[in-house]
Amino acid sequence: MNRTMITATNTLSQLQKQMDIVSHNMANIDTAGYKRREASFTDLLFQQFNNQHDVRAEGNRLTPNGIRQGVGAKLAQSKIVMAQGSIKSTDRALDTAFTKEGQYFRVLEQSENGTAIRYTRDGAFYLSPLSDTETMLVTGNGYPVLDENNNPITINGRVNEYEITTNGRLIAKMENGGTSEFNLGVVQLKKPQFLEQKGGNLLGLPENMAELNVPVNEILTELNGPMRNEISIQQRALEQSNVDMSKEMTDLINLQRAYQFQSRSVSIADQMMGLVTGIR
Amino acid sequence: MFRGFYTVASGMLAQQRRTEMLTNNMSNANTPGFKEDQSSLRAFPEMLLQRMDQQGVTIPTQKGLNLPFNKRIGSLSTGVYMQEAIPAFKQGDLKETGLGTDMALLDVSMPENGSVFFTVAGPNGETNYTRNGNFTVDGQGFLTTASGLRVLNDAGNPIQLISDQFTVNENGVLTGEGGVTARLGIGFAADANRLIKLGDGLYQTEDGNALANAYNAPDAQFKLQQGYIERSNVDVSRTMTDMMTAYRAFEANQKVLQAYDKSMEKAANEVGRI
């Protein structure tokens, strides 16, 4: 069997996966707080063929005995790129944007599997009414935004104006003249590659956290107490995704060409096999 | 039997091997740090042909003994095989990625055939080498390759970091959060051709011993570039051309094989006809 076919098909399927990643980035170019992923390749296993068992019969060689042949390339890793996105002013009181890399809001995701704390950089918040007087601060998907003690933020009474300070303090100025204040829950990621994308613009710790035996505080730091001074939030603005359309497009063209080259290899191998069957 | 039958068959096999190798190069045109293989074909060891001559030396005995005389015709080569796949250790282009965990080795001046490599702890604990600086930080904070193999410092120990925020200067000194400092281990191979490719971007020395420390190699000058990766040095247009050449050589061999087959057919069906 011609190994060219195996090598080329291996690589084709992996190139397809990279294309998936590129198109996912492009699809999320307008998702607030989205961080692009970048994929990279590595070569696959090498196999050694010994033409001569005795190296003395080989004459002048530059390399050690035998020939080593690879079997294509595979996707090595897809890294999340934490670079800051550009800030877009929206002039909406409940829109917030982080201006420091690696800081995320804490939200409570509710699903059929129970509730879990997730992290997001999408700072477009909304209010969800709980009763006639009570409202809760939620994300665009309706998940509650958590405060510094991981409790949902509920505001009692009618509010005239919202103010969010640089350090993530939400100040609601009430109609009756009083104020109620909350500290938005923020984390600083130390090892962002460890987190999983959970969909809905959320990041979360892996499901098998217990097996991995990695303490949570080595992955991220909850910015509570005096550490809140490190938080950097801008109100009335949203962070746009850090996807660069022209870069993704260039990558896509490159990928498509690589895909074509591999398909050419398959057809060349096919023609060679045709020649073999056509010997007689 | 026609000797050439097997000669052309070996030609076809050699060209097929070459196509396989070129396809692998092409597959890795986007693999960081990949070094393309170059093939060398070698003729089979030559055979010596001799002829037994009728008119030999007649020894003047009673009945006139005739000893056949051996006459040398010359040498005959009976085929070809792909002898070597030699990685070309020439510098690949640097590409900016903007990721702090990406690093590239830039050769400033290297002795002929010499090359420098990042040091990595291999899957079985041995020391491996790679040009692929597409690193990452794992859950425990170790600096690893994309496959999770730990990158070693100049003393041969893994590098543990607190976060993925660190800087690497041109001389390979890494400074991380919380006062972590380390110098990346860089190995120097005086003759890089003697290294064995293992796949996954890794190389190993023939005898499994460690390479010399590149910082102490006087004639090897190199720089480390953080935020860059070294692209594969595969030239796609040349690879495609080579592939077409190999294909046509394969085809030519096939045509010769067919010609031999025609001769055999004649011998079998026409020469012997009464």
- CB of A267 within 8 Å of a chain B CB? The answer is no
The answer to whether B209 faces chain A, any CB pair under 8 Å, is no
Q: Assess whether pLDDT exceeds 90 at residue B184.
A: yes
pLDDT for the residue A113: 80
pLDDT (0 to 100) of residue B54: 65
To probe the interface with A, which of B8, B18, B24 has the most A CB atoms within 10 Å? B24
What pairing do the DSSP bridges indicate for beta strands A202-204 and A196-199?
A: antiparallel
Give me the pLDDT at residue B273, please: 73
Quick one: pLDDT at residue A217? Answer: 86
Query: How far, in whole angstroms, is CA B151 from its chain's centroid?
Result: 24
Least CB–CB distance from A279: residue in B24, B147, B261: B261
| Interval B192-241: pLDDT, tens | 999 999 989 999 998 888 899 999 988 899 999 999 999 999 999 999 99
CB-based contact (8 Å) between B29 and chain A? Answer: yes
Determine whether the interchain pair B26/A61 forms a contact, defined as Cβ–Cβ distance below 8 Å.
no
| Lateral strand order in the sheet of A123-124 | A123-124, A95-98, A233-235
**pLDDT for position A212:** 83
> Which residues on chain A are in Cβ contact (under 8 Å) with B99?
38, 79, 81
Residues 6+ apart with CB under 8 A from B139: A191, A194, A212, A214, A218, A219
Out of B21, B45, B201, name the one closest to residue A69 (CB): B21
Q: Which residues of B touch A79 (CB under 8 A)?
A: 99, 101, 136
What does the block give as tokens for A178?
A: 């009083």
pLDDT at A214: 85
**pLDDT of B26 higher than 90:** yes
| Token representation of residue B85 | 């796949």
Predicted local confidence at residue A128, as pLDDT: 92
Stated pTM of the model: 0.87
Interface membership of A103 toward B (CB under 8 Å): no
Cβ–Cβ below 8 Å for A254 and B30:
yes
Partner B contacted by A64 (CB < 8 A) = yes
CA A270 to chain centre: 39
Q: Is the pLDDT of residue B66 over 80?
A: no
What pLDDT is stored for residue A1 in this prediction?
56
Q: Estimate to the nearest angstrom the gap between the alpha carbon of A204 and the chain centroid.
A: 11
Q: Which of residues 219-238 of B touch A (CB under 8 A)?
A: 229, 236
Q: Based on C-alpha coordinates, what's the Rg of chain B? A: 28
pLDDT score of B93 more than 90: yes
A268:B229 CB<8 A:
no
pLDDT over 80 (residue B56): no
pLDDT category of residue B49 using cuts at 50, 70 and 90: confident
Task: Tell me which DSSP letter residue A247 carries.
Answer: H
Percent of chain A with pLDDT over 90: 63
**Tokens (6 digits) for A26:** 């492009």
A212 touches B: beta carbon within 8 Å: yes
Query: What phi, psi does A272 have (nearest 5°)?
Result: -65, -40
B30 and A41 within 8 Å at the Cβ level: the answer is yes
Cβ distance of B27 and A218 shorter than 8 Å:
no
Cβ within 8 Å, pair A190-B164: yes
Judged on CB neighbours under 10 Å (0-12, 13-18, 19+), B112 is: exposed
Task: Tell me how crowded residue B51 is: count the other CB atoms within 10 A of its CB.
Answer: 11
Structure token digits, residue B45: 């060891």
Low-confidence ranges of chain A (pLDDT < 70): 1
ipTM over cut 0.90: no
Mean model confidence pLDDT for chain B: 90
Nearest to B131 by CA among B147, B113, B145, B150: B145
What pLDDT does residue A132 have? 87
In the structure encoding, which two tokens stand for residue A87, read together? 């800030």
Chain A residue numbers touching B29 (CB-CB < 8 A):
258, 261
